[in-house]
């Protein structure tokens, strides 16, 4: 069994702690926050042992660290942990610049270390099913992946997220969906160029852009688009008479993915809790398109079907305990970060960025 240290004990850090507590491969959990009083307070709340960063890095019995700190701390913490011989699970982004992400990758390769970046959609059942259908050839060759993501502003003013600069949201939030688009084309073709645009900012207290329209051209002609707005939906206020996603589905929230192939189409819809597949057939009058699979899930299954951090972490702890390599290599995560920063460069320059 392994000992795990969670670096960063905010809301997401608590999620990582809970996953470690549920793992049969984890024997002891430690926690770190730079402020001593907060570190001790949060460790007591989460029922883990507080330690300083120096204590964690020096303790050879702590085999693994989860990095759940603010984005600017990801690379310094991950490099320090890798150089100390730790296995590392680091939340995305892999760096706040492409050069920083490359530096982290270089450190991992120099150490021959274990580094997995937290693209947990690979472990979320909704997106796994879609990938399985693609790999089984059920929709033929993928030619078009379109993702729409509209939500409310929930980063709030005067937080490290609202103070992010430039295209902060691309690497912070949208990297998940750019990673999905790469994953769905994997084995068929790779991103070749990116063009991204952004409308004038609406959320005045954001230092970064609050909307993005990203278009990707792939090497064999496939395309992908990602349309994101972070203010168009109503801010969520819990209504005890309504279930959360049912309420949000009616107030402007949208998170859907449409994958078009030469033999059919796949759709996922988070707020309607469904995954559907259409199948093409040719009849005398032309193309027919019929729904042939329709999967739904319950509110209790939400965290299993999308943004499944727990399943990701449970799997990573198992890999570390058994001495196995990451499921999603750091080199693959770096390619997603290249895509993120190319989109940012395109918005800054107004040009198509060729990869």
Residue 199 is encoded by which pair of tokens? 């409308």
Taking the mean position of all CA atoms in its chain, how far away is CA 156? 20
CA distance linking residue 95 with residue 171, whole number of Å: 9
pLDDT tens-digit readout, 186-215:
988 999 999 999 999 999 999 999 999 999
Please list the residues that pair with 117 across neighbouring strands: 90
Phi, psi (deg, nearest 5) at residue 222: -65, 160
Reported pTM? 0.94
For residues 330 and 94, the answer to whether their CB atoms sit within 8 Å is yes
Alpha helices, DSSP H, located in the chain: 11-22, 36-46, 53-58, 74-83, 98-111, 125-135, 168-169, 175-185, 244-249, 302-305, 309-322, 330-349
Residue 13 is encoded by which pair of tokens? 């850090």
Phi, psi (deg, nearest 5) at residue 258: -120, 120
Residues 6+ apart with CB under 8 A from 238: 244
pLDDT tens-digit readout, 58-75:
999 999 999 999 999 999
Please list the residues that pair with 257 across neighbouring strands: 147, 268
For residues 64 and 317, the answer to whether their CB atoms sit within 8 Å is yes
β-pairing, 142-150 with 254-261? Answer: antiparallel
Specify the pLDDT at position 105: 98
Specify the pLDDT at position 247: 85
Work out whether the CA dihedral 158, 160, 164, 168 comes out positive or negative.
negative
With cut-offs at 50, 70 and 90, classify the pLDDT of residue 225: very high
Residue 92 in this model has a pLDDT that exceeds 90: yes
Question: What domains sit in the chain, N to C, each tagged with a CATH number?
Answer: 2-117 (3.40.50.720), 121-306+338-354 (3.30.360.10)
For residues 346 and 352, the answer to whether their CB atoms sit within 8 Å is yes
Residue 160 in this model has a pLDDT that exceeds 90: no
Specify the pLDDT at position 85: 97
Specify the pLDDT at position 138: 98
pLDDT tens-digit readout, 294-327:
999 999 999 899 989 999 999 999 999 999 999 9
């Amino acid at each position: 069994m392994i000992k795990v240290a969670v670096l960063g004990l905010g809301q997401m850090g608590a999620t990582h702690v809970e996953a470690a507590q549920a793992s049969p491969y984890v024997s002891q959990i430690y926690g770190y926050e730079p402020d001593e009083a907060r570190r001790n307070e949060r460790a007591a709340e989460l029922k883990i042992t507080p330690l300083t960063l120096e204590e964690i890095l020096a303790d050879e019995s702590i085999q693994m660290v989860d990095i759940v700190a603010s984005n600017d701390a990801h690379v310094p913490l991950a490099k320090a942990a890798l150089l100390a011989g730790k296995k590392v699970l680091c939340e995305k982004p892999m760096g706040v610049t492409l050069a920083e992400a490359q530096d982290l990758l270089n450190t991992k390769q120099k150490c021959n270390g274990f580094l997995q970046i937290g693209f947990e959609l690979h472990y979320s059942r909704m997106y796994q099913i879609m990938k399985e259908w693609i790999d089984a050839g059920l929709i033929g060759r993928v030619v078009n992946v379109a993702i729409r993501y509209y939500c409310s502003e929930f980063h709030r003013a005067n937080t490290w997220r609202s103070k992010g600069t430039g295209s902060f949201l691309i690497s912070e939030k949208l990297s998940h969906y750019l990673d999905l688009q790469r994953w769905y084309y994997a084995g068929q073709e790779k991103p070749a160029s990116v063009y991204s645009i952004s409308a004038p900012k609406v959320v005045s207290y954001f230092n970064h852009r609050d909307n993005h329209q990203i278009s990707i051209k792939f090497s064999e002609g496939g395309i992908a688009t990602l349309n994101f707005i972070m203010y168009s939906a109503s801010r969520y206020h819990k209504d005890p008479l309504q279930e959360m996603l049912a309420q949000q589905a009616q107030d402007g929230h949208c998170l859907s993915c449409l994958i078009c192939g030469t033999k059919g189409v796949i759709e996922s819809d988070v707020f309607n809790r469904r995954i559907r597949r259409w199948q093409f057939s040719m009849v005398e009058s032309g193309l027919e398109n019929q729904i042939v699979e329709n999967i739904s899930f319950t509110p209790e299954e939400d965290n299993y079907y999308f943004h499944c951090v727990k399943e990701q972490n449970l799997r990573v702890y198992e890999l570390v305990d058994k001495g196995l390599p990451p499921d999603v290599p750091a080199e693959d995560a770096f390619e997603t970060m290249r895509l993120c920063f190319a989109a940012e460069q395109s918005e800054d320059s107004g040009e198509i960025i060729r990869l």
